Amino acid sequence: MADKLNEYQGVTGRLHGARDRYKERWSRWREQHPRGVKDVVAESLFGIPNSDVPPERVRKSRIELMRISAAVMGIEFSYAGETAFVSPTLLQIGVPHHQMTLVWALSPLIGFFMTPLLGSLSDRCKSRFGRRRPFIVMMSVGVLF
């Protein structure tokens, strides 16, 4: 390779040197990551596990938590739209228009921030009733009262 570099000078020689360094780095990376680029990117971005650990025991990545929260926020906005018939009633009882907007935005925003928190708490729950049941019961009681 040194003979070939002696032939090139200036910009062309530097480009060939950079290309060779890149090839060496790529070869080393491929040796360290035999699964390939697709699996490494999927694991680092989306938290897709590459082990025999059950999926419920694997921590969720931040992007995955944001996707779940965004989905819940969309559901909450749908519920807010569904109950829009209450708006005229609120206006009739004297609620100002700018505060009524806050009332409708509150539910989706609370859902966006509380979902990852409650999910994280339920993931770590070690109750004798299971990990999810105590939260389902508490939320059901909260909805009823």
Q: 87-105: per-residue pLDDT in tens?
A: 788 888 888 888 877 877 8
Going by pLDDT thresholds of 50, 70 and 90, the confidence category of residue 70 is very high
Residue extents of the structural domains in the chain: 54-144
Phi/psi of residue 93, nearest 5 degrees = -85, 0
Neighbours of 53 (CB within 10 A): 9
Inter-residue contact 14 to 31 (CB < 8 Å)? no
Global pTM value: 0.40
Q: How far apart are CA 36 and CA 42, in angstroms?
A: 10
Share of the chain above pLDDT 90, in %: 4
